[in-house]
Amino acid sequence: MLRQKDYETATLSEIKALLKKHEAFESDLAAHQDRVEQIAAIAQELNELDYYDSPNVNARCQKICDQWDSLGALTQKRREALERTEKLLETIDQLYLEYAKRAAPFNNWMEGAMEDLQDTFIVHTIEEIQGLTTAHEQFKATLPDADKERLAILGIHNEVSKIVQTYHVNMAGTNPYTTITPQEINGKWDHVRQLVPRRDQALTEEHARQQHNERLRKQFAAQANVIGPWIQTKMEEIGRISIEMHGTLEDQLSHLRQYEKSIVNYKPKIDQLEGDHQLIQEALIFDNKHTNYTMEHIRVGWEQLLTTIARTINEVENQILTRDAKGISQEQMNEFRASFNHFDRGEAEFARIMSIVDPNRLGVVTFQAFIDFMSRETADTDTADQVMASFKILAGDKNYITVDELRRELPPDQAEYCIARIAATTPCRVLWTTCPSPRRCTARATSNPPAQASALALPAVHPLPCAPCCPISRPCSAGSLLPTLPALLALTNK
């Protein structure tokens, strides 16, 4: 048993068990030491007594002592072998444990690196691809340290192999703490080294693509940022032309046709923008931080511009036809336009007018409908000359009319209406358009009373600068209000 080499293939735990067993054997062996010594003492005593068979006794005793010494030597040798093997296996076990502690995280790092290097990235801007490139460069900077760690891990394994070869330790199994082998580590490391240049190439190609996309974005934005405001400006200018009343309708039509020509001439720039947009679509570019305009916005604005200029030209042409067909003067057209542009939506009359100009309740009133309405409303209205002639008849062909004449010739309600309005708005005036006696007149202007005294509410007397030849040689007073016919005409027009 003492000569067995079962410890050479034993594990550390088995070696420890053998040591305990050997220690028990040594204890048992020590218990027999006294018996051997007693045998030797008895043999010595027999020799001293000249025992007749002393030679045989001595031979037998010597044999026992030799066997005992041999047994002790074998016991000591086995103990030393077991202790040496235990120490070697403990060293190997520590190396195995250190290998496992460092190989496991390094293996995880390599697996994560391989996954990242093979990951399909999706970016839309240069900033994003630059971020990926920066991260990749940082990763490559860690490769030398990672390689050092790999070599250190492999060095631990090589140390185990060296111990085994030097001391002829027969390993019964593999590392009990990990299943990661040096071959597996080297294989994954080689794979990582192969993936790095592939990732470099992919990032370089993507960076070039994003630079191309950015050029397309800027090229589109440079045109869109000009075309968009240009369309908006033209829309506003056309709107002003249709609202403002500068010149005749023919002038407005000519101006609008010039606008239409300039708009049509602008079409090549829209087509060029469409071409750039097509390139953007093919490049799968979905956002552009350099402009707020999209091709859809530009298309809608362009179509609205073409529609607006065509509709406005058509409206002006219809206005010209309406004017010529109904005999409406340019001044009346301007009045209609002013009324249309400044419609008082707070008036109660608004509902009635809207029912006429917008019978379908669409909420939209065209200027053409408004012209038709105004033409009907003013068809039976007297002109300014007719009103002036009527008042001259009432005044006896004079250029003025008195309060008494107004009350005598007009219905009471109309007369009082005119008097009340004149009293609130018309100061006392000399009424002659031209003085009948220039040689005796000192002035042919109006004599306005102070601002606090107006028309029928004049308590004071204000001498006039005209001589007695004028039709009014006395002061103007409340009893003889003499409004001019133009003043009455203005009043009736209200």
Specify whether 175 is located in the same domain as 272. no
Considering only CA atoms, give the Rg of the chain.
61
- The whole-angstrom separation of Cα 87 and Cα 85 is 5
274 φ, ψ (degrees, to nearest 5)? -60, -40
Question: Do 159 and 28 fall within a single domain?
Answer: yes
pTM of the model: 0.54
Q: Could you say which of 376, 402, 431 is where a domain stops?
A: 431
What domain range is 74 assigned to? 12-180
- Is the CB of residue 453 less than 8 Å from the CB of residue 460? yes
**Is residue 240 domain-resident?**
yes
The answer to whether residues 172 and 248 belong to one domain is no
Q: Determine the pLDDT at residue 382.
A: 55
**pLDDT computed for residue 178 by the predictor:** 92
DSSP 449: P
Shared-domain flag, residues 236 and 144: no
Residue 195 maps to a domain: no
Q: Is residue 270 part of a domain?
A: yes
Predicted confidence (pLDDT) per residue in 123-157, tens digit: 988 999 999 999 999 999 999 999 999 999 999 99
166 and 20 within one domain: yes
455 confidence band (pLDDT: 50, 70, 90): very low
Instruction: Write the CB contacts of 438 (distance below 8 Å, at least 6 apart in sequence).
Output: 444
> Is it the case that residue 185 has pLDDT exceeding 60?
yes
Examine the pLDDT at 473 and tell me if it is beyond 60. Answer: no
Contacts by residues 166-174 (CB-CB < 8 Å, ≥ 24 positions apart): 167/84, 167/88, 168/8, 169/8, 169/85, 169/88, 169/89, 169/92, 170/8, 170/9, 171/92, 172/9, 172/10, 172/11, 173/11
Q: Is residue 191 part of a domain?
A: no
Strands (E), 54-149: none
pLDDT for res 131: 95
In a domain, 244, yes or no: yes
The average pLDDT across 272-299 equals 93
Q: Domains in the chain: how many in total?
A: 3
Q: Are residues 101 and 31 in the same domain?
A: yes
**Which CATH number characterizes residue 274's domain?**
1.20.58.60
Tell whether 159 and 25 lie within a shared domain.
Answer: yes
Domain-located, residue 368 = no
Q: What is the mean pLDDT of the chain?
A: 77
Please indicate, yes or no, whether residues 328 and 402 belong to a single structural domain of this protein: no
Selection from 87-101, 132-146, 158-172, 374-388 with the highest mean pLDDT: 132-146
Per-residue pLDDT at 72 exceeds 90:
no
Same domain, 43 and 148: yes
Residue 351's pLDDT band (boundaries 50, 70, 90)? low
Domain final residue pick, 157, 180, 203: 180
34-48, 77-91, 204-218, 304-318: which is most confident: 204-218
**Last residue of some domain: 286, 311, 343?**
343
Could you tell me if 317 and 401 lie in one domain? no
Q: Has residue 351 been placed in a domain?
A: no
Q: Decide if 5 is inside a domain.
A: no
Q: What is the CATH number of the domain that holds 422?
A: 1.10.238.10
169 and 39 part of one domain: yes
Model confidence at 432, in pLDDT bands (50, 70, 90)?
very low
Amino acid at the residue 91? T
Same domain, 121 and 224: no
